[in-house]
């Protein structure tokens, strides 16, 4: 059986490191890093996510605030709040939880966030920084997935990485990050011809599709690193990924479970981004 990658343990290690770095930053006279999470939508999962984000900040010695807006919020009111948070020097990170209420557009809101406070890493300035190898804030889930891949200890240079999914928040940034590690990267998507053959050529396979157990034994090369980003529910309403874990675990060299793989990494990397944003703003204000 392949090694099961323990995302929970690796995420806990990253959070411990962030906690120590926050303490050192404050001891050196730095401002307490502050994250403001804006909840302006009614997706039931969002409430759980934002509560966890705010709680974890406090656990690591950072300041956090939840701005919960009612369904009557207009686009102009939401934009005004973002402008206010951009101007507030005690707010180092701004996260607008998606999805928004149906009558609101997320594009203009994400574009309005100061890129140096964009802890989600979704602003086109940060996307550009990622693809041009500059320092910036990069999306938490793919960065967390890369940490899991690096944690295997496998030398990534020259390895063939296949990323299934080309979303702006997971697939594309994941590909950029793997390219930066000198992998040869293929991005597969819904129009890819012969997906099993493409996936089976991967030394590193990242699944970011959102389809229950879509990748099985015929998609995995023996010994491959398999990272499952998907969060789905099976017929019994049980959480599961895009990879059929039972079918693949004896073929893969390393594999992430769902839950307990990529999921816990996302919040840990959000914490790291919030501290990085605070440090970046401190440097720029000097
Ligand atoms: N663990 C975490 O913290 C975390 C964070 C974010 C997302 N997620 C999960 O990750 C999954 C992906 O999220 P996302 O936001 O990237 O989803 P998304 O925006 O819906 O993108 C899904 C991608 O999968 C591709 N796809 C769909 N059907 C396919 C098929 N049959 N064969 C090959 N590719 C196919 C789509 O291709 P086209 O572009 O051609 O349509 C698209 O690029 C979801 O389950 C989501 O819940 C987890």
Helix residue spans in the chain (DSSP H): 7-27, 44-59, 75-87, 106-112, 124-131, 140-151, 171-180, 195-200, 245-248, 263-285
Count Cβ atoms within 10 A of the Cβ of residue 232 and give its class: 0-12 exposed, 13-18 middle, 19 or more buried: middle
Tell me the HSE value of 132 on the side-chain side, using a 13 A CA sphere.
8
Q: Write down the pLDDT at residue 1.
A: 85
Rounded distance from Cα 37 to ligand 1 centre (Å): 24
Question: What domains can be seen in the chain, in order of their start residue?
Answer: 28-115 (3.40.50.10860), 140-263 (3.40.50.720)
- What was the pLDDT predicted at 285? 86
Report the pLDDT value the prediction gives residue 29, as an integer from 0 to 100. Answer: 95
Confirm whether 97 is a catalytic residue: yes
- Cα 216 from Cα 240, distance rounded (Å): 13
pLDDT at position 79 is 98
Whose Cα sits closest to atom 3 in ligand 1?
263
**What is the model's pLDDT at position 20?**
98
DSSP conformation letters of 137-190 = ---HHHHHHHHHHHHT----TT-EEEEE---TTTHHHHHHHHHHTT-EEEEE-T
**Cα distance between residue 38 and residue 40, in whole Å:** 6
- Average confidence (pLDDT) per 10 residues, the chain, 286 residues: 96 98 97 98 94 96 98 98 98 98 98 98 98 98 98 98 98 98 98 98 98 98 98 94 98 98 98 98 89
The pair of structure tokens assigned to 269 is 């990397």
Site to probe by mutation for ligand 1, drawn from 120, 171, 191 as the one with most ligand atoms within 8 Å of Cβ, is 171
Residue 53 annotated in active site: yes
Cα separation, 16 vs 35, whole angstroms: 18
Residue 59's pLDDT is: 97
Nearest Cα residue to atom 26 of ligand 1: 190
| pLDDT at position 188 | 99
Residues flanking ligand 1, CB < 6 Å: 141, 164-167, 169-171, 188-192, 195, 208-211, 229-232, 262-263, 266
């Amino acid at each position: 059986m392949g090694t099961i990658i323990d995302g929970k343990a690796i995420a806990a290690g990253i959070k411990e490191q962030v906690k120590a770095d926050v303490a050192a930053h404050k001891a050196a006279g730095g401002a307490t890093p502050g994250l403001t999470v804006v909840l302006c939508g009614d997706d039931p999962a969002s409430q759980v996510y934002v509560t966890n984000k705010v709680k974890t900040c406090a656990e690591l010695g950072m300041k956090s605030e939840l701005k919960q807006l009612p369904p009557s919020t207009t686009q102009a009111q939401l934009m005004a709040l973002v402008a206010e948070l951009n101007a507030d020097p005690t707010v180092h990170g701004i996260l607008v939880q998606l999805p928004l209420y149906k009558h609101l557009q997320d594009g203009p809101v994400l574009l309005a966030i100061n890129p140096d406070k964009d802890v989600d890493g979704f602003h086109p300035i940060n996307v550009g920084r990622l693809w041009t190898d500059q320092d910036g804030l990069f999306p938490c889930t793919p960065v967390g997935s890369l940490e899991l891949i690096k944690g295997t200890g496998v030398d990534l240079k020259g390895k063939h990485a296949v990323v299934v999914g080309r979303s702006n928040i997971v697939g594309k940034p994941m590909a950029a990050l793997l390219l930066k590690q000198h992998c040869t990267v293929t991005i597969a998507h819904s129009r890819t011809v012969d997906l099993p053959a493409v996936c089976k050529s991967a030394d590193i396979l990242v699944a970011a599709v959102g389809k229950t157990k879509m990748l099985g034994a015929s998609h995995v090369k023996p010994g491959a690193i398999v990272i499952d980003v998907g969060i789905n529910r099976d017929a019994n309403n049980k959480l599961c990924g895009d990879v059929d874990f039972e079918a693949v675990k004896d073929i893969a060299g390393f594999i992430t479970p769902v839950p307990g793989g990529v999921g816990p990494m996302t919040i840990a990397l959000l914490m790291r981004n919030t501290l990085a944003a605070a440090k970046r703003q401190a440097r720029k204000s000097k």
